[in-house]
Amino acid sequence: MANEVSEIERRVEQLQQSLELPNASLSRRWLDSELLALWLLNIDADAVSMDAQGIGRFWQNLPYWAFAWAGGRALAQFIVANPNLVAGKRVLDFGCGSGIVGIAAALAGAKTVFVADLDPQALLAAQVNAAVNGVDIQIVDGDWPQVDLLLASDVLYDISSSVDLKALMLDIPHWLLAESRFVAPDFVELRCLQQIVTSTLPAIGDFDERVEVDIYCRRDDPLIPMLN
């Protein structure tokens, strides 16, 4: 147990050293609505008071894996409320970031949780956060795994992710997608299961503190029932 704790501490330190932001650190935070803990960015509010060049560097170096984004929080909350949708299944958390969605699925009883992200630091963060919550995840290395359910949130803003996501959504019959309706995909017919109002943590500058997130599935998916 001591070795396991020290390994987590070593990885947290590794993530902390990768932060390229002034006065930035990581702090462990419990999320009541998602029933899990994450290591999230902690930054002095004065650090965002920069000139234009400094602000540009700030956003360029932003560690997206150190945030609990609104879409990820909404999908994690949805899984907490509907654990039967993931229990016993092999799931893929696409664009995992902090790992919040995959961790929520694991805590809800998913048989196997795979996570994928373009950023190696996100994969490390997902592993650290999974360990903190006492669950196991598997990093996708190479070909996409065969899964029962695809999970994705806050990824359609990035066009580099949308190509892979489109291919996966067309290949995998069952999925849950959390996005704003303004960026919802138009290449499949969607069914909105629920709208959840949440926020991004931590909130910095112009980050929305009240975000309406829609939870979608495939319109004709018979395995995902209509929900109240």
Closest by CA position to 68, among listed 34, 112, 108: 34
pLDDT at 210: 80
Q: What is the pLDDT of residues 114-124, one digit of tens each?
A: 999 999 999 99
User: Which residue is it, tokens 């893929």?
Assistant: 92
Contact of 99 with 157, CB cutoff 8 Å: no
227 pLDDT exceeds 90? no
pLDDT at 127: 97
Report how far residue 24's alpha carbon sits from residue 43's, in angstroms, rounded to the nearest whole number: 5
Instruction: State the chain's mean pLDDT as an integer.
Output: 87
| Bridge partners for 138 per DSSP | 114
Q: In what order do the strands lie in the sheet with 175-179?
A: 138-139, 112-116, 90-94, 149-153, 175-179, 211-218, 190-198
Q: What is the pLDDT of residues 31-49, one digit of tens each?
A: 999 999 999 998 765 555 5
Band of the pLDDT at 224, cuts 50, 70, 90? confident
Task: Using DSSP bridges, classify how beta strands 112-116 and 90-94 pair: parallel, antiparallel or unpaired.
Answer: parallel
27 or 157, which is more confident: 27
- pTM of the model as a whole: 0.90
Rg value, the chain, Cα: 17
Helices (H), the chain: 2-17, 52-60, 70-81, 100-107, 120-132, 159-171
pLDDT at 45: 57
Report how far residue 11's alpha carbon sits from residue 8's, in angstroms, rounded to the nearest whole number: 5
Specify the CATH number of the domain 1-218.
3.40.50.150
Mean pLDDT score, 184-200: 88
Mean pLDDT score, 72-96: 97
Q: Where are the domains of the chain?
A: 1-218
Alpha-carbon dihedral sign for residues 12, 14, 18, 19: positive
